[in-house]
């Protein structure tokens, strides 16, 4: 009786196993892919905050992240530029930070990351030729409180919940099979 | 396996060089995903091919090539300059999407990856976790639905149409998280869609083969709708590209038309080519008009998973050419320990006569930053290599040629109480007297250990110091209970026939003037030992066994902790209260030791010491004791909540289950010092060379500073802690299951009642101690989020 029941279970498992392999593998691939994608999309995204004409050509500024918060903010200048191009950030209370724009790996763009350390209103000036105000592009930027650290760390932090769920399911199934 | 990983590593290098960019920062994650996946496939592929000609024909070389090609295309799509260009030009973005939905998935399925990847998994994982889950009814139903061709078709149509709606498309461009969801959903839909088209082994056909023709043609419709919209709409669909295109000197509308062309022409070809091939194959095939389904692959079952392929016979580390032969030689092992002793002597000399500036002294850097980090990684990755190379036992191994100890270790002291007390004393002294910052103290501790180990082992038989005294040894042996390898008898039948038991007793030499080969000094009889506890990996048993029947083989990490069964030299683990307490010290000590270096704790202790005029040393030492007692109380109270067995057994099982968590905490702590403090060794070595006039380079103290923690370090630390906690909770569940079954076994044999141990009962009993372990984890998680006081380095405050 027990042997028949065991065979029935194995037969049922056989059938599902056909499809399971494909999906189990797909999930593994997705996990691996997620790792790749989270890596590949760092400093990804952003928002166009300024467009206009400077140094006789069209230009645009992209900042990332799209909703800046206290911490690193990346400024990308798309357009004509000269060595010594600068990005200057000034907080409402007078705090000023400056950085040099350096060639980015996309086309002829230049980029600079500034650590904006204060919440509130910042005035940003991008000077594409490094010669002062004549060619500068100006725009305001609102910086919010930094997100809680767990909001970026949660996948690694709580990976144990998924692992325990998988382990418990397996243990439960195995114990049930052993007892039946 | 490495031969397969190598091309991928080379590829990553090329990509990193090619774009000189993001990969540098993210390389660990990219490489981890790619290399793990490819290594898994390659391992399983080789194992399956070893099973015979039919398997070799089914899993021929080009399948392996297809798998690597799929990864190659994926890397091009997601981690190459194409990915960055996709943010700036719609045409590039379209190529990226095409690769993810139409090239990568069919390549993956052509590799028939299911079987190789399953057989690439460690056997225990395959049989204990994957197998039972696959057989679960809920999973079965889910998979049956997901692999239905109609689901794949709908998924593909949804991602093709959905992600090109301007508002959704721009959301993905703006928000990296949505961008990831976009790519993941495209790949998932692609995999589901191409599954019934490629039919990778052992996929079983749901629809007649000819049904794939309308399936593919209909899929091309959704593709055509989007392409036509982009091609014929006179306006720019995505504002993002309008803003950027002008600045880049690109006409955004032209870019959009190019994207439409890419989607329309190559996209349609990719859909229609297989449709034509299927039609041609069916109608040209003799006697077939596409009505009768061809023969299905033979059913595969879970028992198939259990049948070990030829390559799955336990792989003994000692059979590895050269390394295995060397490790089998007692002289080589002694040479290794003597070399380590010479290094220890050098460190001790520098500690005494060198500058008392820890970051510039060998004694202030190598033992604390480098050796501890290396040892914890080596033990958790392979086995107890740290005890195997221990310099403390080198002198006794030499001196025992002339001095034979005659006393046996006193019966009253044959426990772990002395070693446990010494670990507590060590942790308290470390915190109270900042041992790491004193080269002088480090030197004298080293010398003290060598003298004590030699004295004890010349007075008493066996390896009494390792077994009953050494606190470092106990820590390393506890770590090795979650190591993936164990010293084991290879063939139980050979042991059953063996009459001499030389692995335990030792083997007298048959050659004149050569010493007797000692047996296990720790009293472990190899065929009856369970787990790595008390095993120093000295490999004396390997040399003594006349049948070459002992190896270092793979085991399920932590399984012996879950069994907590009888083992030679130890007795029943679940009944050894001293070992339970030692395990508690191991885990709670790990957290207390790590917390002691977090800036807020250091600051609070300093403030209390100043405000109350208490000695900082006393306060720091007390902190360690109180923190450990708090942790122990937590575990003990959880043991009170569980019923059905004597308290000591319950406490021991919970304490033993906490070891994987403790191991992950030690790994995170020492790994952090190792990664951020590795340059300190270089500074100290250069200083020594300069002092010895072997180098003219004056050491630069700035070199002794640490490196800035890389971005991946904190996520990696949390991942390690997650693994540790998950393993601890798993060991706990199996341990409670074993405990309840044992009790049931006793009850049913006496009263003829049936067993009441069900998974539900086990889980209910598991909850309270699981909460205690999660509480310990949360304390450590808090510590990881704090700025650290950098030790053994010259600076870097957080
Ligand atoms: S391990 Fe070797 S010496 Fe020990 S019992 Fe087995 S065969 Fe005999
Ligand atoms: S079983 Fe004993 S002799 Fe063998 S490696 Fe372990 S400690 Fe050494």
Q: In this predicted structure, what is the pLDDT of residue A179? A: 59
Q: In this predicted structure, what is the pLDDT of residue B682? A: 82
Taking CB atoms and an 8 Å limit, are B36 and A32 in contact across chains? yes
Chain A residue closest in CA terms to B241: A48
Q: Does B744 touch chain A (CB under 8 A)?
A: no
As given in the structure block, the two tokens for residue B674 are 């190792």
Measured CA to CA, the distance from residue B771 to residue B768 in angstroms comes to 5
**Residue with CA nearest ligand 2 atom 7:** B535
Helix (H) or strand (E) holding B88: none
Task: Please give the distance, rounded to the nearest whole angstrom, from the Cα atom of residue B507 to the centre of ligand 1.
Answer: 11
Q: In this predicted structure, what is the pLDDT of residue B1? A: 35
- Domain A47-148 adopts which CATH fold? Immunoglobulin-like (2.60.40)
Which mean pLDDT values do the consecutive 10-residue runs of chain B (798 residues) have? 37 40 46 81 88 83 90 83 82 92 94 88 82 76 86 94 92 85 91 92 84 93 91 85 80 90 92 91 61 48 50 74 91 95 96 88 90 95 94 92 91 95 94 85 94 95 95 97 95 93 87 77 94 95 94 93 94 95 97 91 90 88 94 94 85 97 97 86 86 79 64 90 96 93 72 70 92 96 83 42
Measured CA to CA, the distance from residue B68 to residue B62 in angstroms comes to 10
**Residue with CA nearest ligand 1 atom 7:** B495
Please say whether the beta carbons of B788 and B598 come within 8 A: yes
Question: Which among A26, A60, A169 has the least Cβ separation from residue B133?
Answer: A169
Measured CA to CA, the distance from residue B602 to residue B782 in angstroms comes to 14
Please say whether the beta carbons of B571 and B498 come within 8 A: no
Taking CB atoms and an 8 Å limit, are A33 and B733 in contact across chains? no
Task: Please give the distance, rounded to the nearest whole angstrom, from the Cα atom of residue B495 to the centre of ligand 1.
Answer: 5
Chain A residue closest in CA terms to B79: A40
Task: Please report residues of A whose CB lies closer than 8 A to that of B759.
Answer: 171-172, 175-176
Residues constituting chain B: 798
Q: Does A178 touch chain B (CB under 8 A)?
A: no
CA atoms B423, B426, B431, B432: torsion sign: positive
Residues 6 or more apart whose Cβ sits within 8 Å of residue B519: B501, B502, B503, B504, B505, B506, B507, B540, B541, B544
Taking CB atoms and an 8 Å limit, are A16 and B248 in contact across chains? no
Strand partners, A97: A89
Task: Please give the distance, rounded to the nearest whole angstrom, from the Cα atom of residue B489 to the centre of ligand 2.
Answer: 11
Measured CA to CA, the distance from residue B119 to residue B111 in angstroms comes to 14
Q: In this predicted structure, what is the pLDDT of residue B384? A: 95
Task: Please report residues of B whose CB lies closer than 8 A to that of A47.
Answer: 174
Q: Does B559 touch chain A (CB under 8 A)?
A: no
Rounded to the nearest integer, the mean pLDDT of chain A is: 78
Measured CA to CA, the distance from residue B356 to residue B388 in angstroms comes to 31
Question: Which among B117, B176, B244 has the least Cβ separation from residue A48?
Answer: B244
| Candidate from B327, B522, B531, B552 with most ligand 2 atoms within 8 A of CB, to mutate | B522
Q: Does B32 touch chain A (CB under 8 A)?
A: yes
B542 CA closest ligand 2 atom index: 4
Q: What is the DSSP letter of B698?
A: P
| Candidate from B498, B524, B541, B548 with most ligand 1 atoms within 8 A of CB, to mutate | B498
Q: Does B399 touch chain A (CB under 8 A)?
A: no
Q: Does B134 touch chain A (CB under 8 A)?
A: yes
Measured CA to CA, the distance from residue B766 to residue B730 in angstroms comes to 10
ipTM exceeding 0.85? no
Question: Which among A9, A38, A58 has the least Cβ separation from residue B29?
Answer: A38
Buried b (16+ CB within 10 A) or exposed e, B521-545: bbbbbbbebbbbbbbbbbbbbbbbb
Question: Which among B147, B180, B726 has the least Cβ separation from residue A23?
Answer: B147
Cis peptide before B202 (omega within 30 of 0): yes
> What distance lies between CA B761 and its chain's CA centroid?
31
Strand partners, B551: B488
Q: Is the CB of B385 under 6 A from ligand 2?
A: no
Distance from CA of A131 to the nearest CA of B (A): 21
Please say whether the beta carbons of B101 and B187 come within 8 A: yes
Q: What is the pLDDT of residues A134-170, one digit of tens each?
A: 788 999 999 999 888 887 888 889 999 989 988 888 8
> pLDDT confidence of A48, banded at 50, 70, 90?
confident
The residue among B497, B568, B590 whose CA lies nearest residue B779 is B590
Chain A residue closest in CA terms to B135: A13
Q: In this predicted structure, what is the pLDDT of residue A11? A: 60
**Residue with CA nearest ligand 2 atom 4:** B541
Measured CA to CA, the distance from residue B719 to residue B57 in angstroms comes to 40
Distance from CA of B476 to the nearest CA of A (A): 25
Q: Where are the alpha helices (DSSP H) in B596-712?
A: 599-612, 616-641, 647-657, 659-677, 679-691
Question: Which among B26, B187, B195 has the least Cβ separation from residue A30?
Answer: B187
Strand partners, A59: A52
Task: Please give the distance, rounded to the nearest whole angstrom, from the Cα atom of residue B523 to the centre of ligand 1.
Answer: 14
Q: Does B184 touch chain A (CB under 8 A)?
A: yes
Domains of chain A: which residue ranges?
1-40, 47-148
Measured CA to CA, the distance from residue B36 to residue B120 in angstroms comes to 10
Task: Please give the distance, rounded to the nearest whole angstrom, from the Cα atom of residue B483 to the centre of ligand 1.
Answer: 23
> B723 vs A168, B33, B482, B663, B714, CA distance in Å?
15, 17, 12, 10, 14
Q: Is A127 exposed, middle or buried (0-12, 13-18, 19+ CB in 10 A)?
A: buried
> What distance lies between CA B698 and its chain's CA centroid?
40
State whether residue B79 is helix, strand or coil.
coil
Q: Is B286 exposed, middle or buried (0-12, 13-18, 19+ CB in 10 A)?
A: exposed
**Residue with CA nearest ligand 2 atom 3:** B520
3-state helix, strand, coil in chain A (%, to 5): 40, 35, 25
Please, which residues 21-60 of chain A have a Cβ atom closer than 8 Å to chain B? 21-26, 28-48, 51, 57-60
Taking CB atoms and an 8 Å limit, are A11 and B301 in contact across chains? yes
Strand partners, A113: A74
Q: Does B253 touch chain A (CB under 8 A)?
A: no
Q: What is the tally of helices (H) and strands (E) in chain B?
A: 40, 4
Q: In this predicted structure, what is the pLDDT of residue B790? A: 56
Taking CB atoms and an 8 Å limit, are A171 and B300 in contact across chains? no
Taking CB atoms and an 8 Å limit, are A173 and B132 in contact across chains? yes
Residues 6 or more apart whose Cβ sits within 8 Å of residue B288: B282, B294
Task: Please give the distance, rounded to the nearest whole angstrom, from the Cα atom of residue B279 to the centre of ligand 1.
Answer: 65
Q: What is the pLDDT of residues A51-83, one digit of tens each?
A: 888 888 888 999 988 888 898 899 999 888 888
Taking CB atoms and an 8 Å limit, are A17 and B722 in contact across chains? no
Top residue of A64, A148, A160, A176 to mutate, by most chain B CBs within 10 Å, is: A160
What are the pocket residues of ligand 1 if the criterion is a CB atom closer than 6 Å to any ligand atom?
B 489, 494-495, 498, 501-503, 526-527, 545, 547, 549-550
The residue among B657, B670, B474, B676 whose CA lies nearest residue B590 is B670
Task: Please give the distance, rounded to the nearest whole angstrom, from the Cα atom of residue B541 to the centre of ligand 1.
Answer: 8
Task: Please report residues of B whose CB lies closer than 8 A to that of A174.
Answer: 128, 132
> B256 vs A52, B229, B417, CA distance in Å?
22, 10, 75
The residue among B263, B248, B442 whose CA lies nearest residue B354 is B442
Task: Please give the distance, rounded to the nearest whole angstrom, from the Cα atom of residue B339 to the centre of ligand 2.
Answer: 21
Q: Pick B592 or A20 by higher pLDDT.
A: B592
Instruction: Read off the pTM.
Output: 0.79
Please, which residues 115-134 of chain A have a Cβ atom closer than 8 Å to chain B? none
Q: In this predicted structure, what is the pLDDT of residue A24? A: 54
Task: Please give the distance, rounded to the nearest whole angstrom, from the Cα atom of residue B520 to the centre of ligand 2.
Answer: 5
Q: In this predicted structure, what is the pLDDT of residue B339? A: 96
Measured CA to CA, the distance from residue A78 to residue A64 in angstroms comes to 14
Q: In this predicted structure, what is the pLDDT of residue B754? A: 60
Work out how many CB contacts closer than 8 A connect A with B.
Answer: 262
Hunting for tokens 């594409």 — which residue is that? A128
Helix (H) or strand (E) holding A70: none
Long-range Cβ contacts of B576-579 (<8 Å, 24+ apart): B576/B416, B576/B652, B577/B648, B577/B651, B577/B652, B578/B415, B578/B416, B578/B417, B578/B420, B579/B416, B579/B533, B579/B652, B579/B656
Q: What is the DSSP letter of B755?
A: P
Task: Please give the distance, rounded to the nearest whole angstrom, from the Cα atom of residue B660 to the centre of ligand 2.
Answer: 22
Hunting for tokens 């360690």 — which residue is that? B624
Hunting for tokens 């990804």 — which residue is that? A44
Distance from CA of A90 to the nearest CA of B (A): 25
């Amino acid at each position: 009786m027990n042997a028949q029941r065991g065979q029935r279970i194995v037969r049922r498992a056989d059938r599902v196993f056909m499809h399971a392999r494909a999906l189990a593998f797909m999930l593994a691939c997705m996990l691996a892919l997620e790792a790749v994608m989270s890596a590949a999309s760092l400093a990804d995204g952003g928002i166009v905050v300024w467009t206009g004409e400077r140094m006789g050509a069209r230009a645009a500024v992209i900042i990332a992240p799209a909703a800046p918060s206290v911490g690193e903010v990346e400024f990308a200048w798309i357009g004509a530029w000269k060595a010594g191009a600068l990005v200057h950030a000034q907080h409402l209370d007078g705090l000023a930070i400056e950085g040099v724009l350096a060639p980015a790996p996309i086309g002829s763009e230049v980029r600079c990351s500034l650590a904006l350390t204060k919440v509130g209103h910042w005035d940003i000036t991008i000077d594409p030729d490094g010669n002062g105000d004549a060619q500068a592009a100006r725009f305001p930027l609102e910086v919010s409180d930094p997100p809680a650290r767990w909001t970026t760390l949660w996948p690694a932090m709580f990976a144990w919940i998924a692992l325990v769920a998988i382990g418990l399911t397996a243990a439960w199934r195995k114990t049930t099979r052993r007892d039946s | 396996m490495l031969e397969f990983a190598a091309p991928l590593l080379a590829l990553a290098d090329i990509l990193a060089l090619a774009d000189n960019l993001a990969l540098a920062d993210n390389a660990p994650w990219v490489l981890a995903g790619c290399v793990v996946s490819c290594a898994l496939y390659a391992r399983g592929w080789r194992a399956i091919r070893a099973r015979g000609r039919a398997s070799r024909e089914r899993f021929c070389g080009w399948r392996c090539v297809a798998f690597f090609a799929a990864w190659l295309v994926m890397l091009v799509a997601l981690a190459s300059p194409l990915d960055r260009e996709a943010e700036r030009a719609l045409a590039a973005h379209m190529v990226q999407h095409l690769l993810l939905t139409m090239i990568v998935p069919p390549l993956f399925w052509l590799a028939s990856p299911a079987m190789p990847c399953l057989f690439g998994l460690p056997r225990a994982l395959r049989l204990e976790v994957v197998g039972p889950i696959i057989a679960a009814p809920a999973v079965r139903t889910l998979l049956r639905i997901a692999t239905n061709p109609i689901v794949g078709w709908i998924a593909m149509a949804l991602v093709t149409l959905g992600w090109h709606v301007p508002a959704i498309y721009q959301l993905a461009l703006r928000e990296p998280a949505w961008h990831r969801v976009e790519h993941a959903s495209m790949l998932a839909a692609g995999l589901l869609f191409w599954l019934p088209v490629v039919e990778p082994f052992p996929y079983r056909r749901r629809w007649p083969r000819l049904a794939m023709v309308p399936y593919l043609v209909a899929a091309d419709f959704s593709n055509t709708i989007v392409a036509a919209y982009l091609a014929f709409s006179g306006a720019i669909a995505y504002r993002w590209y309008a803003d950027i295109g002008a600045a880049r000197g690109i006409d955004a509308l032209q870019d959009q038309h190019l994207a439409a062309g890419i989607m329309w022409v190559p996209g349609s070809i990719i859909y229609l080519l297989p449709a034509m091939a299927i039609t041609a194959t069916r109608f040209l095939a003799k006697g077939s008009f596409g009505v009768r389904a061809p023969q299905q692959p033979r059913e595969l079952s879970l028992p198939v998973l259990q049948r070990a392929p030829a390559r799955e016979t336990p792989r003994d580390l000692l059979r590895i050419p050269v390394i295995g032969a060397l490790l089998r030689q007692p002289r080589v092992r002694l040479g290794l320990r003597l070399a380590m002793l010479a290094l220890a002597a050098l460190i001790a000399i520098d500690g005494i006569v060198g500058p008392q500036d820890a970051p510039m002294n060998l004694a202030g850097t190598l033992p604390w930053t480098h050796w501890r980090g290396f040892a914890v990684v080596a033990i958790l990755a392979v086995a107890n290599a740290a005890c195997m190379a221990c310099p403390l036992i080198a002198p006794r191994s030499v001196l025992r040629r002339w001095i034979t100890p005659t006393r046996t270790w006193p019966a009253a002291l044959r426990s772990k109480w002395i070693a446990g007390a010494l670990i507590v004393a060590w942790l308290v002294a470390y915190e109270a007297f900042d041992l790491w910052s004193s080269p002088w103290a480090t030197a004298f501790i080293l010398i003290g250990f060598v003298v004590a180990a030699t004295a004890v082992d010349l007075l008493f038989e066996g390896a009494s110091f390792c077994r009953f005294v050494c606190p470092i040894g106990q820590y390393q042996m506890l770590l090795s209970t979650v190591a993936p390898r164990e010293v084991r008898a290879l063939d139980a039948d050979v042991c059953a026939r063996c009459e001499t038991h030389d692995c335990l007793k030792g083997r007298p030499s048959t050659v004149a003037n050569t010493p007797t080969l000692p047996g296990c000094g720790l009293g472990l009889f190899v065929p009856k030992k369970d787990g790595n506890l008390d095993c120093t990996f000295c490999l004396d048993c390997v040399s003594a066994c006349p049948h070459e029947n002992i190896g270092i083989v793979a085991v399920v990490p932590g399984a012996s902790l879950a069994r907590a069964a009888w083992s030679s030299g130890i007795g029943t683990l679940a009944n050894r209260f001293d070992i339970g307490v030692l395990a508690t010290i191991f885990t709670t000590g790990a957290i207390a030791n790590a917390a002691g270096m977090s800036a807020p704790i250091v600051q609070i202790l300093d403030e209390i010491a100043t405000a109350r005029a208490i000695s900082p040393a006393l306060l720091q030492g007390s902190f360690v004791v109180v923190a450990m007692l708090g942790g122990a109380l937590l575990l003990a109270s959880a043991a009170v909540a569980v019923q059905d067995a004597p308290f000591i057994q319950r406490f021991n099982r919970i304490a033993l289950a906490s070891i994987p968590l403790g191991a992950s905490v030690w790994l995170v702590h020492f790994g952090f010092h190792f990664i951020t403090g590795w340059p300190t060794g270089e500074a100290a070595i250069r200083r020594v060379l300069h002092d010895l006039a072997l180098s003219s380079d004056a050491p630069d103290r700035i070199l002794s500073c640490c490196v800035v923690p890389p971005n991946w370090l904190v996520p990696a630390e949390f991942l390690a802690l997650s693994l540790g906690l998950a393993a601890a909770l798993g060991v706990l569940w199996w341990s409670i299951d074993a405990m309840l079954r044992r009790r049931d076994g006793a009850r049913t044999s006496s009263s003829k009642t049936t067993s009441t141990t069900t998974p539900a009962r086990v889980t209910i009993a598991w909850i309270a101690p699981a909460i205690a372990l999660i509480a310990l984890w949360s304390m450590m998680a808090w510590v990881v989020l704090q700025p650290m006081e950098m030790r053994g380095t010259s600076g870097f405050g957080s």
